[in-house]
Structure 1
Amino acid sequence: MSARTHLPVGQEARMAKGWIGAHRYLLLRRASQVFFLALFLIGPWFSVWIVQGTIAGSLTFGVLPLTDPFIALQSIVAGHWPAATALVGALIVLAIYAVVGGRVYCSWVCPINPVTDAAHWLHARLGLHKGWQPKRSARLWILGTVLVVSALTGTIAWEVVNPITMLHRGLIFGMGAVWAMVAAIFLFDLLVARRGWCGHACPVGAFYGLLGRTSLIRISAANRSACDDCMDCYAVCPEQQVISPALKGKAGSTPLILAPDCTNCGRCIDVCAQDVFNFTHRFDDHLAEPSSSASERSAA
């Protein structure tokens, strides 16, 4: 609910931009997630081998290697130095996410994201309390634990229980018990901890967050003087704590969202009827000139 207008979240944006305009980045993210998943599935399903392998490690057109750097890191600490091709693939992925933002993986690629988004939608629809909220540092502790276990056991520990890999395998070989894993994550976010899996538990998200700390692509609240305090951006943001420093910062503070927790999902851009937010780069910290209506609200 919008605090200022008492309208449902995003209603102002839908009236100003139309339904598609108010869901543009959400639709693009779903298309991106389907696209990346389809690249891996059309081979085993239809024998069209554009990509061979899984999200963990693949070869595109038989030439381009791509390796999940988190898996490569686990392999290294486990005492198994990856092959040269796998190392090159990990470096390519590292370079990509160092530019676009590490947690872009979470919102634009990860196939578990639609599951947790659906849980959050139902959570809000039912008006449930946010529930248990572990510290956000918990996922860093889980990340560290995964690396320690890999080192002690000589295995790529997280892949034993990684829901991303399990879902991918399930779609190829049959879901079976994988449905129980998907349901568990959904129910965890719905009933136990709002946005709990991606925001507090997943070590993959924690790793990519660290990777993207200095990434180039950023969201900026460049037009923050036009903010009418509807709070819709906070309502849809999966990492609400990243917004305030940019949107409500002191005079002279950067409007850029620089927190590594930001997933660059673009939902704050979608739901803002005042067009406060936009995608830009980390060196673009300009602020838009206050509009006359914004100046009037400030004076009032």
Structure 2
Amino acid sequence: MSAKTKLPTGQEAIEVKGWLGAHRYLILRRLSQSFFLFLFLMGPWFGIWWVVGTLAGSRTFGVLPLTDPLVLMQGLAAGHWPELTAIIGALIVLAVYALIGGRVYCSWVCPINPVTDAAHWLHDKLGLQKGWQPKRSTRYWILGAVFAVSALTGTIAWEVVNPVTMVHRGLVFGMGFAWALVAAIFVFDLLVARRGWCGHLCPVGAFYGLLGSKSLLRVSAVDRAACDDCMDCFAVCPENQVISPALRGKPGETPLILSPDCTNCGRCIDVCSVDVFAFTHRFDNHVKTDEQVADKAA
């Protein structure tokens, strides 16, 4: 570690890139999350029905069907054969997330993400302990339980308690219990388990991680020789176990973050003052040489 670890997280990047440059992907994510949520709310709130439905299943401009594959698979497990439009919608979503990375949904679309990010920010500000950390495999066990319960009950089980669906319905019909559920997730991440919900429990994140395990879009530590050990990327990454293999890899080892846990949030790119990280594709194993790093510094 270097003396730079004593600086507040992201401070060096702000000094080098400016505040906007050190938060560009964070800002874009918030705009993206707001945009997708607003698309679904324009109809009930303003009578502009560009999109009808929810993130579980929708139709855009009366033509484009989109279906959450997890919802479709729960329906199949429950013994319900879906309509053709639902199957087409699920195939479209499968293709998109298989291409760009399934957990892009978690960081760029899911409206619960700002809640868990806020809990993590406050957790750091208060200097709280790490807390209880369930095994990351727990979310896969919960995912399996979702399918099992769907099969046993003949229902789409997760949608009964899915906080994303409940928030959407709450914003349309009145929040009610949805507020309590959102508050519970916030408190859980703040006081019980740091980044506990998204990183250890949510079956949706587990499902989309598996879906995008071979996706094209990747983050690469292309300039890892320039790393100054400030540790800011580890501090901001919601799944920081994915960074080390790419950043600390030996010569000849891939600089790509290939773990399905990566959400492609771009925060590691934001907070790195020496631009170690960049978005690329999974076939780009290029790593900058020491000579190129020296030329850049010069």
* TM-score exceeds 0.5: yes
Number of residue-to-residue matches in the alignment: 296
The Cα of 1:294 is off from its aligned counterpart by 6.0
Change (3 A) 1:2 1:263: farther
The Cα of 1:89 is off from its aligned counterpart by 0.2
- The match for 1:271 is 271
CA contact (8 A) 2:5 2:229 kept: no
Cα deviation 1:170-208 (Å, max 9, x = unaligned)? 000011121100100000000000000000000000000
- The match for 2:219 is 219
The Cα of 1:290 is off from its aligned counterpart by 1.9
CA contact (8 A) 2:225 2:293 kept: no
Query: Counterparts of 1:156 and 1:180 in 2: how far apart (Å)?
Result: 22
CA contact (8 A) 2:66 2:93 kept: yes
The Cα of 1:3 is off from its aligned counterpart by 5.5
- The match for 1:156 is 156
The one-letter code sitting in structure 1 at the alignment partner of 2:173 is F
Find out whether 1:29 has 2:60 as its counterpart: no
The one-letter code sitting in structure 1 at the alignment partner of 2:129 is H
- The match for 1:244 is 244
- The match for 2:233 is 233
Change (3 A) 1:293 1:151: closer
Query: Counterparts of 1:191 and 1:2 in 2: how far apart (Å)?
Result: 30
* Fraction of identical pairs, as percent: 75
Q: 2:106 aligns to what SS in structure 1?
A: helix
Query: Counterparts of 1:257 and 1:205 in 2: how far apart (Å)?
Result: 17
Cα deviation 1:212-233 (Å, max 9, x = unaligned)? 0000000000000000000000
Change (3 A) 1:55 1:46: same
Residue correspondence of structure 1 range 161-180 to structure 2 within 5 A = 161-180=161-180
Residue correspondence of structure 1 range 97-136 to structure 2 within 5 A = 97-136=97-136
Query: Counterparts of 1:292 and 1:51 in 2: how far apart (Å)?
Result: 48
CA contact (8 A) 1:226 1:291 kept: no
Cα deviation 1:136-195 (Å, max 9, x = unaligned)? 000000000000000011100000000000000000001112110010000000000000
CA RMSD, 1 decimal = 1.5
Change (3 A) 1:144 1:253: same
The Cα of 1:4 is off from its aligned counterpart by 3.1
Instruction: Name structure 2 gaps, 5 residues minimum.
Output: none
The one-letter code sitting in structure 2 at the alignment partner of 1:259 is S
CA contact (8 A) 1:225 1:294 kept: no
Q: 2:19 aligns to what SS in structure 1?
A: helix
CA contact (8 A) 1:43 1:52 kept: yes
TM-score scaled by structure 2?
0.97
- The match for 2:290 is 290
Query: Counterparts of 1:46 and 1:256 in 2: how far apart (Å)?
Result: 44
Query: Counterparts of 2:33 and 2:277 in 1: how far apart (Å)?
Result: 23
The Cα of 1:289 is off from its aligned counterpart by 2.2
Instruction: Name structure 1 gaps, 5 residues minimum.
Output: none
Change (3 A) 1:178 1:293: same
Residue correspondence of structure 1 range 15-26 to structure 2 within 5 A = 15-26=15-26
The Cα of 1:27 is off from its aligned counterpart by 0.2
Query: Counterparts of 1:198 and 1:248 in 2: how far apart (Å)?
Result: 25
Query: Counterparts of 1:156 and 1:293 in 2: how far apart (Å)?
Result: 53
- The match for 1:40 is 40
The Cα of 1:2 is off from its aligned counterpart by 7.6
- The match for 1:88 is 88
Q: 1:115 aligns to what SS in structure 2?
A: helix
Query: Counterparts of 1:157 and 1:166 in 2: how far apart (Å)?
Result: 13
Q: 1:19 aligns to what SS in structure 2?
A: coil
Find out whether 1:204 has 2:193 as its counterpart: no
Query: Counterparts of 1:200 and 1:5 in 2: how far apart (Å)?
Result: 27
Query: Counterparts of 1:258 and 1:55 in 2: how far apart (Å)?
Result: 27
CA contact (8 A) 1:23 1:271 kept: yes
CA contact (8 A) 2:5 2:231 kept: no
